Amino acid sequence: MQVKSHKVVAVAAAIALAVVGTLATSSSANAAGTSLKGVKITVGSKDFTESIVLSKIIKQLVIANGGQVVDKTNIKGSATTREALVKGEIHAYWEYTGTAWLVYQKQTDVNISPKDMYTKVAAGDKKAKVKWLPMTSFNNTYAWAITKANATKYGIKTYSDLAKKLPAGSAWCVESEFQSRPDGWAGFKTKYGISDSNIETKVLDTGAIYQATKDGQCMVGEVFATDGRIGALGLMVPQEDIAYFPPYNAAITITDATAKKYPNLVKVLSPIAGKISNGTMQNLNARIDVLGEDADEVAKSFIRAAGLVK
């Protein structure tokens, strides 16, 4: 009897949910502004501008559709953010395919196309109960930057040129995380045949590398390909002629529980990725890092400009 009554309650609840779900879907088709009514999620991000502004886009889009968001953006470090998601402390954030592949799923083969990597990563994450929404076309991979002036002076067009044409003792600036990653500094030196005796390695804070490269304290700086400061500070990224860095396309990762609870949320968030190219991303980053605009404001204006809300 006891069991039966539980079953009845469960069935009733399921019906109620289904009804509410249908209602919500039908309303989203007509009126932007209320389709996420009743949705309450916590959005996280890693501790750098791009990750923050991307998550602010989720936040602003959910709010614009009538939902509620707890903002937990700017969590220190990739792995800490990921753990927060897996533990359910946050419900969504943007992850990069390459990071998930190498760091969380502990894979080592990086010679695969962005699409294949996305498929494999999404499949592998089913175990962790994490759902991957569509990925962006932009690829925020690690990159090397050099000033345009130095590129001309030394005839630098490719990463191989960086390895071979720069004067002995040139300073390469890397961030401490990059120094410790399997897809980081040591692997790059091996792949491009750079010997430690020929160069100087400086370990700096991520944010300081751009300015230090512009100032000449670093001949070569480890940067992110979509960072707005590359263009703003007169730096350039040579061609990666020997494939080394894995693809780092971004996608919203969301807990299975949240995706199930709010099917509409998935529908609203999925189109974001298609609207952000490398150039768009550099531009969004530059507005914050170079022009000093507020990340929330940038996100708000982006969802309007991209036609995600009317």
Instruction: Decide whether 217 or 277 has the Cβ nearer to other proteins.
Output: 217
- Nearer to other proteins by Cβ, of 114 and 184: the residue is 184
Q: Least CB distance from residue 105 to other proteins, whole Å?
A: 12
27, 34, 66, 83: which one binds other proteins (CB under 8 A): 83
Q: Which is nearer to other proteins, 152 or 180 (CB)?
A: 180
Q: Establish if 158 lies at the interface with other proteins (CB under 8 A).
A: no
Residue 84 interacts with other proteins (CB under 8 A): yes or no: no
Stretches 140-148, 176-184, 222-230, 248-256: which one binds other proteins (CB under 8 A)?
176-184
Quick check: 208 binds other proteins (CB under 8 A)? Answer: yes
Q: What's the maximum distance between 2 C-alpha atoms anywhere in the chain?
A: 85
**Long-range pairs, 215-218, Cβ under 8 A, ≥24:** 216/147, 217/171, 217/173, 218/171, 218/172, 218/173
Give whole-number Cα distances, 248 to 72, 135, 224, 307, in Å: 23, 10, 10, 25
The answer to the question of residue 182 lying near other proteins (CB under 8 A) is yes
- Residue 51: how many other CB atoms lie within 10 Å: 23
Site for other proteins in 269-288 (CB under 8 A): none
Q: Which stretch binds other proteins (CB under 8 A): 33-41, 171-179, 232-240, 245-253?
A: 171-179
Decide if residue 255 touches other proteins (CB under 8 A): no
Is the Cβ of residue 66 or residue 187 nearer to other proteins in the bound state? 187
| 219 counts as binding other proteins under rule CB under 8 A | no
The 27-66 contact track toward other proteins, x by CB under 8 A, reads: ----------------------------------------
Residue numbers of the site for other proteins (CB under 8 A)?
76-80, 82-83, 103, 106, 108, 173, 176-177, 179-182, 186, 202-205, 207-208, 211-212, 215, 217
